[in-house]
Structure 1
Amino acid sequence: MKYTTLPNTDIKVSKICLGTMTWGEQNTEAEGHEQIEFALDKGVNFLDTAEMYAVPGRAETQGKTEEIIGTWFKKSGKREDVVLASKVVGPGEAMKHIRENLGFSKEAVTEALHKSLKRLQTDYIDLYQLHWPERNTNFFGKRGYERDEEEAWEENFQEVLETLSGFVKEGKIRQVGLSNETPYGVMRFLEESRKHNLPKMITVQNPYNLLNRKDEIGLTEVLHRENLGLFPYSPLGMGTLSGKHLDGIAKNSRLDLFPQYKRYSGEQAVKATRAYKEIAEKFNLNFAQMSLAFVNTRPFVSSNIIGATSIKQLEENIGSIDLELSEEVLEEINKVHETYPNPAP
């Protein structure tokens, strides 16, 4: 395994992060525990979860993923062996089953954090992330920003940081980060943290993969110059970049079970996927591992969030850390990207 240090901290994390959102929906508690043990044995020390998980978010499974991690902590006694990240949801009608007071008000974050700590059976979370912005912006499958004249959001970056600062001082949170965020949001949080001596957001968790490199357009310069790290999620485009859906959606896969997540299945995305798969075949590479290795080696990536529903998948995905892509492979990948730039939002 390879490791890095989270920006502006002394927290050492594996370059592969174990994503957990299927636990409690597609995976049982026993399978979740098995995945943690397997990943730890391979050198992974970083888990990412969220209060809304399992995915897709619904009342029957909300919080189940954190509960599964919590029972593993209790059973194993290995809380100190793991760097733990979780998230608090932003507003959204589909999330009303979680709490009435959604968003990042002091009351909402207080309730969310304490419920997460209870489910996780821990006294602290190493990295607490805002799952998506309160304001209207281009997240969850939207390529571009669309102006909303009816938007009710009022700027509250300072207030949010002050709330999080209180929990950092109490020791319930070590560091804070963002998710599904844009360059504007990142810079505003950084501005307020500097101006008022408040905790600095150290990471951004966004979708990033061969079919979605849009953050390279503006966000990665912010990450570089402000010393933040990126946590890519969906690095395989929900399995698309393993090639398993090229001849139709694979049976019992996430895209088969939950067709609302077919953002990587459009015509241009399929054409790009075929072209990337041809590169893997040309150089005798495992396609899924090539796709993950590309993400692993980007200089702005702190840790790549992988997920799997089976140990076989997990082993293959973790194994991508040992794959070094040649300059020739990278050149071919960039040629495809020039032909099909960001075909999936």
Structure 2
Amino acid sequence: MRRVRLGQNGPDVSAICLGSMTWGTQNSEAEGHAQIDRALACGIDFIDTAEMYPVNPVRAETVGRTEEIIGSWIAQSGRRRDVVLATKLTGVGSSAVRAGAPISPAAIRAGVEASLRRLRTDHIELYQFHWPNRGSYAFRQHWSFDPSGQNRERNLADMRACLAEVSKMQAEGKIGHFGLSNESAWGMAQWLMLAEAGVGTRAIAIQNEYSLLCRAYDTDLAELGVNEAVTLLAYSPLAAGLLTGKYAPDAPPPPGSRATLHPHLSGRITPRVWGAIDAYHAIARDAGLDPVQMAIAWVMQRPFPVLPIIGATSVAQLDLALGAADLVLPAEVLAAIGKAHKAHPMPF
């Protein structure tokens, strides 16, 4: 497995990250452990989770269960030093966690301490804010995004306070590095400038959605990533399963799949998406490629610092995705993907 460095001075990690958000709802503890074991056997040592996981759905009674599953694997295996852990602090609006309170210095301290207990460790390599306090255009909110009510000085004051607390936790040895998630180009630039001004630690990564079907990152954030050495941790590189081909407009979703729980896949299923999927599957078919592996390999070949986060509900699904690790897409496939993107932009 190829290895990459996160940010300017972050840890070296596997070029693919193992996602965990289904462990505790769609997956049992034993299944989560099996996925970690298989990932490690294949060279993946980077695991991403979040305090609010599992999802599908997020419930107050299951918040933290995914971290507990990872923690029990650590306790049973004794292999803490073999994995790099990333987790995320829930932001404002999620009633299942801290009654929907925003990220604050107190929430950061409480969140870190709680995650450490559940993970059964004394150190988290990458600690991320799940989404900004000021709001976000992630999760299909870009169609109605309105930043006109934001206040720059209030935003920056909030960032200063939170960044200072992150740096305290870092100085205490409880976290190693800092990252953002569902963040914008303006927001990421401010976090970086505050760090350069001495307010606190520098963010090394940004975890945003990115796939053949979701390419909002391709312009301003891509430029920022290159010039500022910020690594994109691309979540949903298979567009919540749409790119696997298991869904069709005129057929019920497979039993146990995410679409049985979220019929529209959180806004990803639209009339336009099916033509885009067909176009990418045709490219894979003509090139003799598996569409899952093509989609993941394409993310890994983008011209900015990036690695995909892959999630699975079975070891078989994980094995298929891992087939992308050493796949290099030829120029003609990349050109065909570019044409398909122009023909089917922003399908959701």
- TM-score (normalised: structure 1): 0.95
Q: Where do residues 38-57 of structure 1 align in structure 2 (5 Å cutoff)?
A: 38-55=38-55, 56-57=57-58
SS at 2:98 equivalent: coil
| Residue in 2 that maps onto 1:116 | 115
CA deviation profile, 1:253-299 (whole Å, cap 9, x unmatched)? 11122225242211111110011101111111101111111011113
Of the three residues 215, 219, 222, the one matched with 2:221 is: 219
Matches of residues 156-175 of structure 1 in structure 2 within 5 Å? 156-175=158-177
Q: How does 1:1-345 map to 2 (within 5 A)?
A: 1-9=1-9, 11-55=11-55, 56-92=57-93, 95-100=94-99, 102-144=101-143, 146-147=145-146, 154-155=154-155, 156-246=158-248, 248=251, 249-259=253-263, 261-344=265-348
Paired with 2:321 and 2:232, the residues of 1 have a C-alpha distance of 18
Quick one: distance in 1 between partners of 2:19 and 2:257? 16
- Secondary structure at the aligned position of 2:208 is classed as strand
**Aligned partners of 1:158 and 1:193 also within 8 Å:** no
* Between 259-268 and 181-190, the greater mean CA deviation after superposition: 259-268
The alpha-carbon distance between structure 1 residues 4 and 149, as it changes in their structure 2 partners (threshold 3 A), is: closer
CA distance in 2, matches of 1:109, 1:115: 10
Give the AA of the match of 2:113.
H
1:56-112, Cα deviation, whole Å (9 max, x unpaired): 2111211110000000000111111100000001100xx223214722211111111
Query: 8 Å contact 2:179–2:204 — kept in the other structure?
Result: yes
After the TM superposition, which of the residue ranges 17-26 and 213-222 deviates more from structure 2?
Answer: 213-222
RMSD of aligned Cα (Å): 1.6
**1:145-201, CA deviations, whole angstroms, 9 ceiling, x for partnerless residues?**
632666689311111110100000000000000000000110011111111252001
The ranges of structure 1 where at least 4 consecutive aligned residues each deviate by more than 4 angstroms after the TM superposition are 148-153
Deviations 1:289-323 (A, max 9, x none): 11111011113243210000011100000111121
TM-score between both structures, scaled by the size of structure 2: 0.94
Q: Which amino acid aligns with 2:166?
A: L
* Alpha-carbon distance between aligned partners in 1 of 2:279 and 2:148, rounded to the nearest angstrom: 41
| Residue 106 to residue 87, structure 1, CA distance change in 2 (3 Å) | same
1:53 partner letter: Y
Tell me how many residue pairs correspond in the alignment.
342
Gap regions ≥5 residues in structure 2? none
Q: Following the alignment from structure 1 to structure 2, what is the Cα–Cα distance between the partners of residues 145 and 192? A: 29
Percent sequence identity over aligned pairs:
42
